[in-house]
Structure 1
């Protein structure tokens, strides 16, 4: 789809891009079934670092829910991880976690983790499809499930895992002008990554990479 023929997230009247219109677009552009984990050319942390060999072999499978809240205008629900977690402490993330052997698949894992982390009832969640798997430099391959979430839910954050739950306008995240490229030095090597600062919230790394993947899937050719 040519970006000019898709809803223009910079110039459009955002309230007109309602939940029904988003659902039609998402179902037409997202993957209807969970992707293969060995899908070639899947996105990952190394996309902005050509020639990097940082992503290890034997990636562990994880799943996240990308919850699009059916407000007018639409918003995206995100969490801030607590500071004492062993990995990605204090970072902004989608609800999700490791796919366990008892999970029926990545969507089931994402729904389970979402319920455990923020108590979002599955009755409010309408799954729409999947994004390609996302490879991280910390040893995970993540299957993102995109869903529309009906308002009216009540959330309770698990204090062991979630420090905060908040929403960001969908239009902000789908505006490519807000997809910045930042860098940090890890082990003496400069690493580049996507970042989408929103007020005091610093959205970066795999979360920003998944948002970028969603943008490209919905609005790029």
Structure 2
């Protein structure tokens, strides 16, 4: 069956080779410009609170798709004592530093520092458009296939846990809920994808939503 067929768009259950072909065809082949027009962000659901554009700090994350059968997405839970986004679910990543040649280089460096995932297991397949956050960052996501067999060690200063969520669950639009809470005196709406005890929301859920739209939305 064609993995791009309409019958698979709701809950795609595809093999790693099919995902790689799809990703290389539909994702960006090179790092996007940070001022890319109409790039996604937290303000998409909150037009009265944005746009968040001026003075954003550049960050990069790795979106690791683990080549299991079925595919999974590797995520981290941040420690509770971090100064920002404490306890939240996140992709491995962080600020782009001066020594980082590309956003991918930054994402790979941060991934190694946070969870000790060796780059030898990682096969980059493309970029997503930069994602703007209401907390002052513009994030460049690098999508990659990760070969199983790796051993992870979470950096206790940054990562409380590392876990995997089925790719098909995250790519099912029915699981893309819109939640809200009060932020800076106003109601803020955001994507949320609760999975068991894991509450995936905010920028992480927004990036997942962007990946879904790139791969499966017509």
1:32 aligns with 29
Q: Tell me by how many angstroms 1:52 deviates.
A: 2.0
- Aligned counterpart, 1:154: 151
The residue number in structure 1 matching 2:175 is 178
Change (3 A) 1:124 1:6: farther
Question: In the alignment, what sits opposite 1:138?
Answer: 135
Alignment of 1:1-221 (within 5 A): 5=5, 8-10=8-10, 14=13, 17-53=14-50, 55=52, 57-221=54-218
Closer, same or farther: CA 11–110 of 1 in aligned 2, 3 Å: closer
- Give the Cα–Cα distance (whole angstroms) in 2 for the partners of residues 53 and 92 of structure 1: 23
**What secondary structure is seen at the aligned counterpart in 2 of 1:211?**
helix
Deviations 1:116-146 (A, max 9, x none): 0000000000000000000000000000000
Offset at residue 148 of structure 1 (A): 0.1
Q: TM-score w.r.t. structure 2 length?
A: 0.96
- Measured after TM superposition, the shift of residue 10 of structure 1 is 3.6
Alpha-carbon distance change, 54 to 90 in structure 1, aligned in 2, over 3 angstroms: farther
Distance 1:54 1:28, change over 3 A: closer
Supply the distance in 1 between the matched residues of 2:37 and 2:136 (Cα, whole angstroms): 17
Deviation at 1:50, TM superposition (A): 1.9
TM-score when scaled to structure 1? 0.94
| Distance in structure 1 (CA, Å) of the matches to 2:107 and 2:5 | 32
Tell me how far 1:9 sits from its aligned partner. Answer: 4.4
